[in-house]
Amino acid sequence: MSEAPFDIFGHPSAGEARPFSRATRAGGLVFVSGHSAPHDPANGVHRGETAAEQTRNALGMVDRILREAGSSLDRAAQVTMLITDPADYAECNAEYVKHFPNGLPARHTARFGVPTEAKVAFACIALAGDAA
């Protein structure tokens, strides 16, 4: 059997409710699945009350995943912002731009409605290697 042509980060367990990996690395790129801010109240982790807090925490999560894969938000080429309420768009944008001081990657925004109370989530594609 040949080796997989890509690396998987955070492969889900069998039967997991969220059947996707956190990220994959292939062809010099890192592809990060959509992630909202971490939320685990039993362990004192809360995603945030406001759209800005959730944006900050979700992008922090995406950056940690990128760093695990040998990249960072500084190397993001494309970002997808998923929001549940268009009324949060300006608040999310105001926080979002703070995370890309060296220039904004290409981005598109879509409304999402997964069974969660998250206000915002992010997916991205970044260059692999040379994590900042």
Residues 5-31 pLDDT 10s: 888 888 777 777 777 888 999 999 999
pLDDT in tens, 24-69: 999 999 999 998 888 777 877 788 899 999 999 999 999 999 999 9
Q: Is the pLDDT of residue 115 over 70?
A: no
Q: Is the pLDDT of residue 79 over 50?
A: yes
Distances (CA, A) of 4 to 7, 23, 120: 7, 14, 32
What is the bridge-based pairing of β-strands 76-83 and 106-111?
parallel
Are 99 and 62 spatial neighbours (Cβ–Cβ below 8 Å)? Answer: no
What's this model's pTM, rounded to 2 decimal places? 0.88
Helix or strand (DSSP H, E) at 51: helix 51-68
